Amino acid sequence: MHLFSLVVIACCVTWTTFGLLAIGSRRKRRVASPAREHPGVTILKPLCGTDPSLYENLETFFLQDYDRYEIVFGIEGSQPALVALVDSLCLRYPNVEAKVVTHQGASGLNPKVRNIRQMVSSAKYDLLLISDSNISAPVEYVQDAVDTFLDDEAHTGIVTNLFVGYGESTLGSALENVQLNGFCVAGAALPTLLGDACVVGKSMLFSRRTLEKIGGFEKVSDVLAEDFVMGKMFQHAGYKVRLANVVLRNMTQNLSLKSFFDRHVRWAMLRIRLRPAGYLLEPLTSPLFMLPFAWHVMGRDALLLAIVLWQVRDVGQWLILRGRHASVLPIVLAPVRDAISLVVWAFAPFKKHVVWRGTRVRLGAGTLLFHEAER
């Protein structure tokens, strides 16, 4: 028992330390490349419903400091209010090339991929940049993603970005941001920097021609974790997945506690089907899980160790990614977030179905989606 407790402590300390280092080391300024013509970029924005601050989020993509880009918005079904919102932005920024693709969908059970497949036919450029609707981007976002891609163009498959939670308007939103800026961002940064791609679809820049060579969007039309699978498609084809410098804002306003819980149950369901062994080891990253084992070895000093690890992971990463603003939240909520995450971790393996954008589907191995009646 003593040896096992030491292993648990060592795993938690190692993961927490290297997660922080991975985030800090990523934020290095890239040396400016020699002057050259930059390729055109098509930004694909699949939309579904109106998120809080949607107008402001989308507006940041009209303000990009990049010469050659277009924005293609995709809307499945009849959503006149959404069309009107996008049209108003297009009228406000007539110098930015933008278009709205409305359609009734394509084949496939993943609604986001269905939307993207209809949008791609309207894309002018080979470089595609997919970005979610709840993302707010600084003006250098596109330029930085393209520069990262061109740094090693022959070997780069996907350029992705870390994202940080903003908008603590409710307790659910605050817990979401502590989760995103702690466990989630380290879980994306560290494996990717070590060469084990962990792509999150908040931002993906890649060549359409290269994707078509390795299977295209059709290959991910019936999986829920299309972003992760696409990263693995590029990696298995011999390409690199690279992290850009820019950190994006993921806006999480007005999230209820139930929505927070349901969202992370769904994400946990994805992780256990994508990386079962890694999922089983996830509690080792939790200071709360480590605490009783550390108490067995260290006595009361275990509580101090747990507090230090919470500060390093949740507060330290928050400070790197967001600065001091609202940094009291991870100080207060980190143990609560850990407790909820352990409940989610234990509960998710027993869930077989998810409701995704209004449709209930069964989730299989590799996050393959099935209709309710399918076996």
209 shares its domain with 262: no
CA 265 from centroid of its chain's CA atoms? 15
271 shares its domain with 200: no
Q: What percentage of the chain carries pLDDT values higher than 70?
A: 95
CATH code at position 43: 3.90.550.10
The last residue of one of the domains, among 236, 256, 276, is: 256
202: in domain: yes
DSSP codes of every residue in 131-174: E-TTEE--TTHHHHHHHHHHHTTTTEEEEE--EEEE---SHHHH
Rounded Cα gap, residues 160 and 246, in angstroms = 9
231 shares its domain with 113: yes
Q: What is the pLDDT of residue 372?
A: 63
Rounded Cα gap, residues 133 and 49, in angstroms = 9
pLDDT(29) > 60: no
Tell me the average pLDDT across 346-367: 87
CA nearest to 125, candidates 70, 167, 80? 70
343: in domain: yes
The last residue of one of the domains, among 256, 284, 311, is: 256
47: in domain: yes
pLDDT in tens, 299-328: 999 999 999 999 999 999 999 999 999 999
276 shares its domain with 238: no
Number of domains in the chain: 2
273 shares its domain with 302: yes
CB 217 within 8 A of CB 116: yes
339: in domain: yes
194 shares its domain with 283: no
The last residue of one of the domains, among 221, 237, 256, is: 256
User: To which residue do tokens 């806006």 refer?
Assistant: 251
159 shares its domain with 105: yes
29: in domain: no
375: in domain: no
Least confident window among 189-198, 227-236, 252-261: 189-198
Indicate the Cα dihedral angle 110, 114, 117, 121, nearest 10°. -170
264 shares its domain with 225: no
Q: What is the mean pLDDT of the chain?
A: 91
Tell me the average pLDDT across 20-42: 72
pLDDT(170) > 90: yes
13 shares its domain with 68: no
96 shares its domain with 161: yes
pLDDT in tens, 198-224: 898 899 999 999 999 999 999 999 999
pLDDT(37) > 80: no
Question: Using 50, 70 and 90 to split pLDDT, how confident is the model at 2?
Answer: confident
Rounded Cα gap, residues 189 and 155, in angstroms = 19
| Strands 163-166 and 127-131, bridge-based pairing | unpaired
Q: What is the pLDDT of residue 28?
A: 55
Q: What is the pLDDT of residue 48?
A: 86
| Strands 69-76 and 97-103, bridge-based pairing | parallel
* Residue span of the structural domain in which 178 resides: 34-256
Count Cβ atoms within 10 A of the Cβ of residue 113 and give its class: 0-12 exposed, 13-18 middle, 19 or more buried: buried
Tell me the average pLDDT across 26-40: 63
pLDDT in tens, 247-306: 999 999 889 999 999 999 999 999 999 999 999 999 999 999 999 999 999 999 999 999
38 shares its domain with 15: no
pLDDT in tens, 103-131: 987 778 899 999 999 999 999 999 999 99
Question: How many CB atoms lie under 10 A from the CB of residue 326?
Answer: 15
Least confident window among 102-111, 142-151, 163-172: 102-111
Rounded Cα gap, residues 223 and 363, in angstroms = 8
Q: What is the pLDDT of residue 355?
A: 79
pLDDT(32) > 80: no
64: in domain: yes
Whether the CA torsion 19, 25, 28, 33 is positive or negative: it is negative
69 shares its domain with 177: yes
